[in-house]
A and B are shown apart, each in its own frame.
Chain A
Amino acid sequence: MAGGPQRLASGGATIDRGAPVRFTFDGRRLDGFAGDTLASALVANGIALVGRSFKYHRPRGLLGAGAEEPNGLVRLGAGSAVEPNTKATLVELHDGLVSSSQNRWPSLAFDVQAVNALLSPFFAAGFYYKTFMWPKSFWEKFYEPAIRRSAGLGRASGLPDPGRYDKVNAFCDVLVIGGGPAGLMAALAAGRAGARVILAEQDFVLGGRLLSERHEIDGMPSSAWSAQAAAELDGMPNVTVLRRAAVFGSYDSGTFGVVVSAAPGETGPRQTLWRIVTRSAVLATGAIERPLVFGGNDKPGIMLASAVRSYVNRFAALPGQQITLFTATDEGWNTAVDIAAAGGRVVAILDTRREVSPQLRALAPAAARIFLGADIKAGRGRLRLTAIDVVDRDGRAERIATDCLAMAGGWTPMGGMAIHLGGRLAWSERIGAPVPKSTPAMRIAGAAGGQLSLAESLASGAEAGLAAAEAAGHAAAAMAIPRSSDDVVTPFQRRPYAKTRRPAFVDFQNDVTAKDIALAVREGFAIPEHLKRYTTLGMGTDQGRTASLNAIEILADVTGHPSTELMPTSARPPETPIAIAALAGASRGEHFRPKRLPASHDWSAAHGGSFTEAGPWMRPRWYTRTGEADWLTTVNREVTTVRTSVGVCDVSTLGKLDLSGPDVAVFLDRVYTNLMSTVPVGKVRYGLMLREDGFVLDDGTAARLGETHFVISTTTANALRVTQHVEYCRQVLWPELDVSLVPVTDQWAQYAIAGPRSRDLLQALLGDRIDIGNAAFPYLAVKAFDWDGVEARLFRVSFSGELAYEIAVPASVGAAAFERLMDACVRLGGCAYGTEALGVMRIEKGHVAGSEINGQTTAADLGLGKMLSAKKDFVGKMLAQRPALAAADRPALVGLRPVDRAGRFSGGAHFLAPGATPSIEADEGWLTSVAFSPSLGHFIGLGFLRNGARRLGEQIRAYDPVRGRDTLVEVVPAAFVDPEGARLHV
Chain B
Amino acid sequence: MRYSALSLAWNAATGHRFWKPAWRDAEPKPAYDVVIVGGGGHGLATAFYLAKNHGVRRIAVVEKGWIGNGSVGRNTTIIRSNYLHPANTRFYEFSMKLWEGLEQALNYNVMVSQRSILNVFHSDAQRDAYARRGNAMRIAGVDAELLDTDGVRKRYPFFDFDNARFPIRGGLLQPRGGTVRHDAVAWGYARAASDLGVDIIQNAEVVGIDIQGGRAVAVETTRGRITADRIGISVAGHTSHVAAMAGLVLPIESHVIQAFVTEAVKPLISGVVTFGAGHFYISQSDKGGLVFGGDIDGYGSYAGRGNLPVAEDVAEGGMALMPAIGRLRILRNWGGVVDMTPDGSPFIDLTPVQNLYLNGGWNYGGFKATPAAGWTFAHLLATGQSHELAAAYRLDRHATGRVIDENGQGAQPNLH
Write the residues of chain A forming the contact surface with B, with a CB cutoff of 8 angstroms: 54, 81-85, 121-122, 124, 127-134, 136, 139-140, 144, 147-149, 151-161, 163, 165, 167, 249, 251-252, 255, 257, 273, 275, 420-422, 515, 519, 522-525, 527, 529-530, 533-534, 536, 539, 541, 543, 572-574, 577-585, 587-593, 595, 612-613, 691-695, 697, 850-851, 854-856, 879, 882-886, 906-910, 912, 918-920, 922-923, 926-930, 959-963
Contacts of A534 in B (CB 8 A): 183, 187
State the Cβ distance, B34 to closest chain A Cβ, in Å: 23
Contacts of A886 in B (CB 8 A): 401
Question: Would you mind naming 29 contact pairs between A and B with Cβ atoms under 8 Å apart?
Answer: A122-B12, A130-B4, A134-B5, A136-B101, A136-B104, A139-B103, A147-B286, A148-B267, A149-B266, A158-B158, A255-B307, A515-B16, A572-B332, A573-B311, A578-B329, A580-B327, A587-B319, A592-B277, A593-B277, A612-B123, A697-B410, A886-B401, A908-B134, A909-B132, A918-B138, A920-B90, A959-B135, A959-B139, A960-B131
The answer to whether A855 touches B405, judged by C-beta atoms less than 8 angstroms apart, is yes
The answer to whether B111 touches A693, judged by C-beta atoms less than 8 angstroms apart, is no
Contacts of A525 in B (CB 8 A): 22
Q: Which of A149, A157, A855, A908 contacts B410 (CB 8 A)?
A: A855
The answer to whether B138 touches A962, judged by C-beta atoms less than 8 angstroms apart, is yes
A81–B323 Cα distance when bound, in Å, is: 12
Contacts of B399 in A (CB 8 A): 882
Q: Which of B73, B108, B136, B316 contacts A910 (CB 8 A)?
A: B136
State the Cβ distance, B310 to closest chain A Cβ, in Å: 10
The answer to whether B123 touches A257, judged by C-beta atoms less than 8 angstroms apart, is no
A-B pairs, top 6 by smallest CB distance, nearest first, are: A855-B408, A161-B326, A908-B131, A907-B128, A882-B401, A152-B288
Interface string of B238-252 (1 = CB under 8 A from A): 000000000000000
Contacts of B402 in A (CB 8 A): 884
Tell me which of A127, A130, A928 has the highest count of chain B C-beta atoms within 10 A of its own C-beta. A130
The answer to whether A961 touches B135, judged by C-beta atoms less than 8 angstroms apart, is yes
A963–B122 Cα distance when bound, in Å, is: 17
A82–B312 Cα distance when bound, in Å, is: 22
User: When A252-B307, A573-B333, A592-B166 are in contact, do A130 and B318 touch as well, CB less than 8 Å?
Assistant: no
Contacts of B158 in A (CB 8 A): 158-160
Q: Which of B145, B262, B263, B323 contacts A588 (CB 8 A)?
A: B323
The answer to whether A962 touches B135, judged by C-beta atoms less than 8 angstroms apart, is yes
Contacts of A920 in B (CB 8 A): 86, 89-90, 139-140
Task: Give the residues from 311 to 325 in chain B that come closer than 8 angstroms, CB to CB, to chain A.
Answer: 311-312, 314-316, 318-320, 323-325
Q: Which of A148, A533, A963 contacts B146 (CB 8 A)?
A: A963
A909–B3 Cα distance when bound, in Å, is: 47
The answer to whether B286 touches A906, judged by C-beta atoms less than 8 angstroms apart, is no
**B92 interface contact, C-beta 8 A:** no
Interface window among B56-64, B112-120, B350-358, B375-383: B112-120
The answer to whether B128 touches A122, judged by C-beta atoms less than 8 angstroms apart, is no
The answer to whether A591 touches B407, judged by C-beta atoms less than 8 angstroms apart, is no
A839: nearest residue on chain B (CB-CB)?
B124
A590–B320 Cα distance when bound, in Å, is: 8
The answer to whether B410 touches A153, judged by C-beta atoms less than 8 angstroms apart, is no
B288: nearest residue on chain A (CB-CB)?
A152
The answer to whether B318 touches A584, judged by C-beta atoms less than 8 angstroms apart, is yes
The answer to whether A589 touches B160, judged by C-beta atoms less than 8 angstroms apart, is yes
Contacts of A927 in B (CB 8 A): 128, 132
The answer to whether B320 touches A592, judged by C-beta atoms less than 8 angstroms apart, is yes
The answer to whether A152 touches B264, judged by C-beta atoms less than 8 angstroms apart, is yes
The answer to whether A595 touches B165, judged by C-beta atoms less than 8 angstroms apart, is yes
The answer to whether A591 touches B107, judged by C-beta atoms less than 8 angstroms apart, is no
Contacts of A533 in B (CB 8 A): 68, 73, 183
A588: nearest residue on chain B (CB-CB)?
B319
Other 7 A-B pairs with CB < 8 A, given A133-B104, A136-B104, A691-B411: A121-B12, A139-B112, A154-B263, A592-B316, A593-B278, A908-B127, A920-B90
The answer to whether B136 touches A923, judged by C-beta atoms less than 8 angstroms apart, is yes
Contacts of A963 in B (CB 8 A): 131, 146
**B98 interface contact, C-beta 8 A:** no
How many A-B contacts at CB < 8 Å in the complex?
367
B159: nearest residue on chain A (CB-CB)?
A160
B331: nearest residue on chain A (CB-CB)?
A577
The answer to whether A130 touches B316, judged by C-beta atoms less than 8 angstroms apart, is no
The answer to whether A273 touches B12, judged by C-beta atoms less than 8 angstroms apart, is no
State the Cβ distance, B189 to closest chain A Cβ, in Å: 12
B69: nearest residue on chain A (CB-CB)?
A529
Write the residues of chain B forming the contact surface with A, with a CB cutoff of 8 angstroms: 3-5, 7-9, 12-13, 15-17, 19-23, 25, 66, 68-69, 73, 86, 89-90, 101, 103-104, 107-115, 122-125, 127-136, 138-140, 144-146, 158, 160, 163-166, 172, 181, 183-184, 187-188, 262-268, 277-278, 284, 286-288, 303, 305, 307-308, 311-312, 314-316, 318-320, 323-334, 342, 399-403, 405, 407-411
The answer to whether A909 touches B12, judged by C-beta atoms less than 8 angstroms apart, is no
A529: nearest residue on chain B (CB-CB)?
B66
User: When A131-B109, A156-B325, A588-B320 are in contact, do A523 and B20 touch as well, CB less than 8 Å?
Assistant: yes
Contacts of A249 in B (CB 8 A): 308, 333
B267: nearest residue on chain A (CB-CB)?
A148
Contacts of B181 in A (CB 8 A): 129
The answer to whether A613 touches B122, judged by C-beta atoms less than 8 angstroms apart, is yes
User: When A121-B12, A129-B109, A129-B187 are in contact, do A156 and B135 touch as well, CB less than 8 Å?
Assistant: no
The answer to whether B330 touches A577, judged by C-beta atoms less than 8 angstroms apart, is yes
Contacts of B316 in A (CB 8 A): 583-585, 587-588, 592
A139–B103 Cα distance when bound, in Å, is: 10
The answer to whether B324 touches A160, judged by C-beta atoms less than 8 angstroms apart, is yes
The answer to whether A580 touches B266, judged by C-beta atoms less than 8 angstroms apart, is no
Contacts of B342 in A (CB 8 A): 693
User: When A252-B307, A588-B319, A908-B130 are in contact, do A522 and B324 touch as well, CB less than 8 Å?
Assistant: no
A572–B328 Cα distance when bound, in Å, is: 18
State the Cβ distance, B12 to closest chain A Cβ, in Å: 4
User: When A130-B7, A163-B326 are in contact, do A591 and B135 touch as well, CB less than 8 Å?
Assistant: no
The answer to whether B330 touches A907, judged by C-beta atoms less than 8 angstroms apart, is no
The answer to whether B132 touches A923, judged by C-beta atoms less than 8 angstroms apart, is no
The answer to whether A581 touches B327, judged by C-beta atoms less than 8 angstroms apart, is yes
The answer to whether A160 touches B323, judged by C-beta atoms less than 8 angstroms apart, is yes
A139–B308 Cα distance when bound, in Å, is: 38
Q: Which of B129, B165, B183 contacts A589 (CB 8 A)?
A: B165
Contacts of B9 in A (CB 8 A): 122
Contacts of A273 in B (CB 8 A): 312
User: When A127-B8, A882-B400, A918-B139 are in contact, do A923 and B266 touch as well, CB less than 8 Å?
Assistant: no
A161–B324 Cα distance when bound, in Å, is: 5
State the Cβ distance, B65 to closest chain A Cβ, in Å: 8
The answer to whether B134 touches A589, judged by C-beta atoms less than 8 angstroms apart, is no
A797–B145 Cα distance when bound, in Å, is: 42
A391–B15 Cα distance when bound, in Å, is: 25
The answer to whether A907 touches B326, judged by C-beta atoms less than 8 angstroms apart, is no
A147–B4 Cα distance when bound, in Å, is: 18
The answer to whether B21 touches A523, judged by C-beta atoms less than 8 angstroms apart, is yes
State the Cβ distance, B136 to closest chain A Cβ, in Å: 7
The answer to whether A151 touches B287, judged by C-beta atoms less than 8 angstroms apart, is yes
The answer to whether A919 touches B73, judged by C-beta atoms less than 8 angstroms apart, is no
Contacts of B73 in A (CB 8 A): 533
Contacts of A593 in B (CB 8 A): 165-166, 277-278
The answer to whether B324 touches A251, judged by C-beta atoms less than 8 angstroms apart, is no
The answer to whether A85 touches B113, judged by C-beta atoms less than 8 angstroms apart, is no
A912–B135 Cα distance when bound, in Å, is: 11
The answer to whether B410 touches A695, judged by C-beta atoms less than 8 angstroms apart, is yes
The answer to whether A156 touches B268, judged by C-beta atoms less than 8 angstroms apart, is yes
A851–B124 Cα distance when bound, in Å, is: 10
A720–B315 Cα distance when bound, in Å, is: 24
State the Cβ distance, A498 to closest chain B Cβ, in Å: 16
Tell me which of A85, A132, A134, A692 has the highest count of chain B C-beta atoms within 10 A of its own C-beta. A85
State the Cβ distance, B377 to closest chain A Cβ, in Å: 22
A960: nearest residue on chain B (CB-CB)?
B135
Contacts of B134 in A (CB 8 A): 908, 961-962
Contacts of A127 in B (CB 8 A): 8
A538–B22 Cα distance when bound, in Å, is: 22
